[in-house]
Structure formats: structure tokens, C-alpha cells
Amino acid sequence: MTTPVTTTGTEPPHPVSWTRLLGAELRWVLRRPRMLVLLGLLALVPVLMAVGIVLSDRGPSGGLVGAVAGNGLVLPVTALSVTLTLLLPMAVAVAAADAIAGEAAHGTLRGLLLAPVGRLRLAAMKGFGVLVVAAAATAVVIVAALLAGWLLIGPPDPAGAGGAGVLVTLSGSTLDAGEVAARLALVAVWTFGQLAAVAAVALAVSACTEHPLVVLASVLGGLIAFGVLGTIPALEPLQPWLLTMGWGSGADVLRDPVPYGGLGSSTALAAGYLLAGAAVLVVRMRRRDA
């Protein structure tokens, strides 16, 4: 005789689906006023750069800025190089500070830790939100720079450039529209990889504190310290391990052929910081008290 199965009402709740988790995190991240303000400031940077170049009475200077003055399509790469020094990492650090430390400060993290989500799923959800901010910030800079460069500066004269190219590289050669799109995609993916490393470190710090300002001070202060250490000749053996030392490699996409050495080494270093930050984040979230 088969014993009937009865329910006692004590079954564990079903885990929340990934789609619902990521959708909720995405809405929470992109609706924060401070994040919208930061994205607006990032969009304003290439516009101001283009206006400054147009209004300048001086002739084009050498190097990257000189190339921008003669070709508006170079502006996205220049804008990414400029904002990567501080503004892009700051946007990622703000998102990471709000993701864990901010929720802990407001008391909402306790509910997430007690919910049927799982610590690893919660860490993945928070990482997803910060990575979305990194991708959105990169895209905003590129799109704003493309529009500002094309409308205010304009492309070079193909006939004057000696061919049918729409972009003149720093090496003097010209690239067509397809090659320009490939170079911009390359620098966008590379920039996103660098920001992902910053995001992992910022999330690790955010998981270890309940004060968002500590996260901002640690990340931005660390980046500034890396920049200072990179200028000290006596610390040359340490410099290859500093994350910021490879951040000038993005301009290499404007050379022909592209020297992939700097892009590759900086990407490998960023991957190391990403793995280290993710490991600390996971360990801390698994041990964090509700």
C-alpha cells in the first residue's frame, strides 16, 4: 500500500530566476540619479573637447590631439584615453560602492542575504550591474565623441589625404569605414576590459565595508597612487604590475599596423586584477553575516 505524500508547508522557497534577478538589478542601477548624472558628464567630455579644438586659434599640434584637429573620427579614441584616467573608473567605483556597501549602509543588504537567492548568485548579480555601468559608460563616450567629432570637427578631405580613406592614422595611412569601425570596436572592448578589472577590485572593497565613501577613496586613491608610482624610476621593476601603466595603449589603434603588444599585456594584467577581485568578492560574500 502506497503512503500518500502530504505537504507540511515547510518546503524551502524556490530560488528566484536569473532573468528576474538581473532585470531587477539592471533597473535599480540605471535609475539611480547619480549614475545618470555621471553618464551625462561622460557624454559632455568629448563635446567640450571638440568645441575646444574648433575654437582654438592655434594650428594643430603634434601627436594625438593634432590628429583630432584634422580628423573628427579620432575623437572617440582620444576621449576614451582622457576619461579612462579618472572619470570612467569613478563611474564604475560609484556603481560598485552602491551595489554592496551602499545597500549595507541603508540596511537593504540584510534582506538580500536572507532571501532565497544564494550568496554566489547575489555576487554575480551585483557584478552584472557594475559591468553594465562599465559598458554603458564606454558606449556613451564613444557615441558622444562620434557625434561631436563628425558634427563639429568633421572627417578629413579624402582627396587631400591622398586616398579614399575616412580616417588618417598616426602613421599617415588612411582607413575606410569598415576598418574604422573595427578599430573603434577594438578600443571599446579593450576599455571595457580595463574597467572590468577596476569593477572587480571595487566590488571586493565594497564587500568588506559598509561605507560607500571608503570604496570610492580606496579605488580612486589607489589609481592615483599607481600613477605616481609609475613616474618613479627607482620603482621600475614594480611598474609592469601597475594596472594604470597600460592605459595609454588604447591610442595604438590609431597606428597602422596596430601594435598589439601593449593592448595584449594590459589586457592580461587587467584579467589578473579581475580574477583577484572576483575571488575576494566571492569569499567575502560567502562569509558575510546577514
Grid cell digits, residue 107: 540596511
> Would you mind telling me the total number of residues written for the chain in this entry?
290
Q: Are the C-beta atoms of residues 141 and 48 closer than 8 Å to each other?
A: no
Ranges 132-136, 154-158, 180-184: which has the least confidence: 154-158
pLDDT band, very low/low/confident/very high, at 9 (cuts 50, 70, 90): very low
Cα distances (angstroms) measured from residue 92 to each of 122, 133, 188, 245: 18, 6, 15, 19
Q: For residue 289, what pLDDT is reported?
A: 58
Grid cell digits, residue 48: 567640450
Ranges 108-122, 132-146, 255-269, 276-290: which has the least confidence: 108-122
Q: For residue 203, what pLDDT is reported?
A: 94
- Nearest in space to 124 (alpha carbons), one of 288, 287, 281: 281
Helix, strand, coil % over all residues of the chain, rounded to 5: 70, 0, 25
- The answer, yes or no, to whether the previous bond of 257 is cis (omega within 30 of 0) is yes
Q: Which residue has the higher pLDDT, 153 or 68?
A: 153
Q: Give the HSE-up count for residue 53: Cα atoms under 13 Å, Cβ half-sphere.
A: 28
Compute the average pLDDT of residues 243-258: 90
Contacts of 279 (CB under 8 A, 6+ apart): none
Q: Are the C-beta atoms of residues 192 and 138 closer than 8 Å to each other?
A: yes
Q: Nearest-5° angle of CA 91, CA 95, CA 101?
A: 135
Ranges 12-16, 53-57, 73-77: which has the least confidence: 12-16
- Nearest in space to 121 (alpha carbons), one of 132, 112, 109: 112
- Nearest in space to 215 (alpha carbons), one of 274, 281, 267, 268: 281
Grid cell digits, residue 195: 574597467
Compute the average pLDDT of residues 110-120: 58
Measured over all CA atoms, what is the biggest interatomic distance in the chain, rounded to whole angstroms? Answer: 96
Task: Report the sign of the C-alpha dihedral through residues 46, 47, 48, 51, in that order.
Answer: positive
pTM over 0.75: yes
Ranges 61-65, 85-89, 179-183, 191-195: which has the least confidence: 61-65
